[in-house]
Amino acid sequence: MHPAVDRSAGYAIAAPEVTTVAVAGMDEVFPVARVFCVGRNYAEHSIEMGHDPEREPPFFFMKPADAVVSAGRLPFPTQTQELHHEIELVVALAEGGRDIPVERALDHVFGYAVGLDMTRRDLQAEAKKAGRPWDMAKGFDQSAPIGQIRVVEDIGHPTKGAVWLRINGKPRQEGDLAQQIWKVPETISLLSTLVALRPGDLIMTGTPKGVGAVEPGDLLEGHIDGVGDLTVSYDSSAKAAFRDRVTR
């Protein structure tokens, strides 16, 4: 038998741990089911990525649940020379469902958080060029730092307000939630026609303009009005080694 086999809990091997996110004002934590992400949901970001926002309906991609990490110090990801930041409003679902009507979509929301859709832009560019999946560009380990969830009872449903990201104190991304092309209720409704949504699902709702590269040692400070803040720093010890790690 494989040495990892341990039948003591009724599973053939150790069961995966549940990834959780802290909830402001609660001792209990939010269990993450899945992480869905909306692509190109702010016109000016769509343009900076070389697309025409008028012609593009929303599309989705995913990160694994265990890509979610809380704020703090993170190791610099492997296999990239172009790690990009994308500051985003994150929607946390309390209830699931399929074919959820737009007008009932917000009833499914537990709360909101500030998140980062960290992206290996070099791998994404290669994937786009080759018509391949984005998973390894978007869904790598610790690719979704997420701050505390604020519950709807405390903050309502934010539809406008500044979204920004600073690196080492300098402004990088700036936008407003009101600039989202597909609003949160529309996003939930549309996504629920593609998959049955579940309690614990997170939706990263896209990023405003100004995406760019992060280097080892950088300090990222993100903010969304009415939702909160998120601070992440990348380990600098890998600085000399990380460019050599790339084997492609």
Interface positions with Mn ion (CB under 5 A):
86, 117, 207
Minimum separation from the CB atom of position 141 to Mn ion (A): 17
The number of CA neighbours under 13 Å toward the Cβ of 45 is 27
Smallest distance from Mn ion to CB 41, Å: 8
* Least distance from Mn ion to the Cβ atom of residue 236, Å: 25
Residue with smaller CB distance to Mn ion, 86 or 122: 86
Question: Is-contact 49 86, C-beta < 8 A?
Answer: no
As measured in angstroms, the least distance from the Cβ of 39 to Mn ion is 7
CB of 246 to Mn ion, least distance (A): 23
Distance (Å, whole) CA 130 – CA 157: 39
| 144/151 with CB nearer Mn ion | 144
Q: CB-wise, 60 or 218, nearer to Mn ion?
A: 60
The closest of 106, 103, 99, 108 to 194, measured between CA atoms, is: 99
56: Cα separation from own chain's centroid: 21
Q: Which is nearer to Mn ion, 117 or 221 (CB)?
A: 117
Give strand pairing partners of 245: none
Residue at shortest CB range from Mn ion: 117
| Pairing assessment for the beta strands 30-31 and 20-21 based on DSSP bridges | antiparallel
Q: Which is nearer to Mn ion, 189 or 207 (CB)?
A: 207
Q: Six-digit token pair at 28? A: 């209990």
